[in-house]
Structure 1
């Protein structure tokens, strides 16, 4: 277990794509993704699908995806979940819908028995996919979240309010946007992360949100929920990688997790909730050891 605690201070740049039109559908939707492919033609291991958390995107996993692909000889897909990144803005934003999206993605891209890795909200999607579609995956790695209903914390809604104020104010620089967001969040690192959800309007040249603020505001209860029955089990390879100082993991959460994943291992790193960002090297080691141990 690692004892040092650092948060890398990175420069995040917005991706300039036009926001999608808001729609509603009960059917699975296609998802935007980044694919890191192996360069050699020899035998490859199980593909990996990486799922981000709330307010995240496929960009969060880009560096790790390339490293896993190159070092562990496999294809890696980093996905934008619905209402995030470059994927479609659409209701409902529920775990049943997001899980259907992932199952559809696996089928559409003919991905054979992938390992699903998910952080926070993406971790719940990963767990749900393994519980509901165990026959199409080979393993699941959950990052600092459990199969329980939990509180998102006051800041989650504050971030949406901050992005709304940025849109209303009509700012043309990231410095101005950061100044507004600083009223809602003191941490520079977290503000930089939230600001990746801004894009420039092609007409006004002002920054606006690329995520659907109205949909996500109305979906907070669904995002904090865990709507699946306790009798569901996944008996395949699984592991939970958690932050020792995270507020999302406690004995109740661990008990619920082991109920659904009785054959799982659990590892703790000296981090908060952002395990893979705070300790990227240690996280990579745990993930690669899991893959090698189970010969995936």
Structure 2
């Protein structure tokens, strides 16, 4: 559907009003989205943003199969979501490496996985880290890398291409949209439950089974989500005890920093405006049909930021990249091959 500028801006205003109503009904501060975006950018500017060197894995292309003398194809960079890490995307990465015959980089974003920790956790800082990674590893040759992001990583990918229009050749956003939403109270509950396991100090929770049972009692949810959340903790021997006796859990990632970012709206925020930023490269938005992260009402706004966007739906939940990595990879590979021809 083709929309003129007036209709796009009108729809943008309607989405703002709908989000205003959602925030008001849920008891959250009813701040106008544009004001919220302004303050989000102001916070980002006030905070000292130090670039971090990101931890990563690389799945190398098979030179024997793809040809030693063939010009390398643009690499793929995959970004995980909140609470995730580079290991979450191994399956989809291997699939893309096999189908597209190119290097695939799996990154840990700041405050996640093996990457360094920082009190600053917003999309400006995260996207700058990725830009720094691309420059440091000289990945912007051959047309620029293809950036892929899931959930929080999807917003990082969107901001990266919008703020650096010539850096990447294509962008794939899985399960997110360029909109500001109310902070997700469920995520705060997740962190509180995980911190309670850590603060137990091994008194009643010493095994993964006990930790999972505690999470099930606190947050419910399915086993897949709980297993995913438990990857943010590590099981260690209590000091002074024998290896076969007492254990406790420690944080792998700075849970209090992430909780602070969630509560302040940094994770749910989207500080950019299509009147000032737009990207005309090929953009794919993958939606999970059992999720509500990318509803039809957001499509006009997506088009305002990304006029060459297209969507594909996959029957799965929000963690579609983990539930159906093969289907995700097929969808992305089809998109890449069509736009490289």
Q: Output the CA distance in 2 between the equivalents of 1:32 and 1:142.
A: 21
- Partner of 2:130: helix, strand, or coil? helix
Aligned residue in 2 for 1:114 = 145
Query: When the two structures are superposed, what TM-score results if normalisation uses the length of structure 2?
Result: 0.77
Q: Output the CA distance in 1 between the equivalents of 2:103 and 2:73.
A: 8
Give the one of 254, 264, 276 matched to 1:212.
Answer: 254
Aligned residue in 2 for 1:195 = 230
Give the one of 196, 212, 219 matched to 1:178.
Answer: 212
Offset at 1:25?
4.7
**Bigger relative CO (Cα 8 Å, ≥ 6 apart):** 1
Q: Quick check: 1:28 aligned with 2:51?
A: yes
Query: How many residues are matched?
Result: 273
Q: Output the CA distance in 2 between the equivalents of 1:257 and 1:202.
A: 49
Q: Output the CA distance in 1 between the equivalents of 2:84 and 2:300.
A: 27
Instruction: Render the CA deviation track for 1:68-102: whole Å, top value 9, x for unaligned.
Output: 22331111111010111111110210100001000
Aligned residue in 2 for 1:165 = 196
Q: Which has the larger radius of gyration?
A: 2
Taking structure 1 as reference, are residues 202 and 33 closer, same or farther at Cα in structure 2, changes over 3 Å only?
A: farther
Q: Output the CA distance in 1 between the equivalents of 2:270 and 2:182.
A: 11
Instruction: Render the CA deviation track for 1:82-127: whole Å, top value 9, x for unaligned.
Output: 1111111102101000010000000011112110000110000000
Offset at 1:153?
3.2
Q: Quick check: 1:229 aligned with 2:273?
A: yes
More helix as a share of residues: 2
Aligned residue in 2 for 1:149 = 180
Aligned residue in 2 for 1:17 = none
Give the one of 82, 100, 109 matched to 1:72.
Answer: 100
Please say if residues 89 and 321 of structure 2, whose CA atoms lie closer than 8 Å, have aligned partners that are also in contact.
no
- Partner of 2:147: helix, strand, or coil? strand
Please say if residues 285 and 311 of structure 2, whose CA atoms lie closer than 8 Å, have aligned partners that are also in contact.
yes
Q: Output the CA distance in 2 between the equivalents of 1:50 and 1:290.
A: 15
- Partner of 1:258: helix, strand, or coil? helix
Q: Output the CA distance in 2 between the equivalents of 1:152 and 1:286.
A: 30
Please say if residues 44 and 73 of structure 1, whose CA atoms lie closer than 8 Å, have aligned partners that are also in contact.
no
Please say if residues 68 and 76 of structure 1, whose CA atoms lie closer than 8 Å, have aligned partners that are also in contact.
yes
Offset at 1:278?
2.6
Q: How does 1:1-296 map to 2 (within 5 A)?
A: 25-40=48-63, 41=68, 42-112=70-140, 113-169=144-200, 170=202, 171-182=205-216, 183-201=218-236, 204=239, 205-220=247-262, 221-231=265-275, 232-295=277-340
Q: Output the CA distance in 1 between the equivalents of 2:113 and 2:138.
A: 23
Deviates more, 1:277-286 or 1:214-223: 277-286
Please say if residues 57 and 85 of structure 1, whose CA atoms lie closer than 8 Å, have aligned partners that are also in contact.
yes
| Structure 1 unaligned residues grouped into runs of 5+ | 1-23
Query: When the two structures are superposed, what TM-score results if normalisation uses the length of structure 1?
Result: 0.88
Deviates more, 1:122-131 or 1:203-212: 203-212
Taking structure 1 as reference, are residues 151 and 275 closer, same or farther at Cα in structure 2, changes over 3 Å only?
A: farther
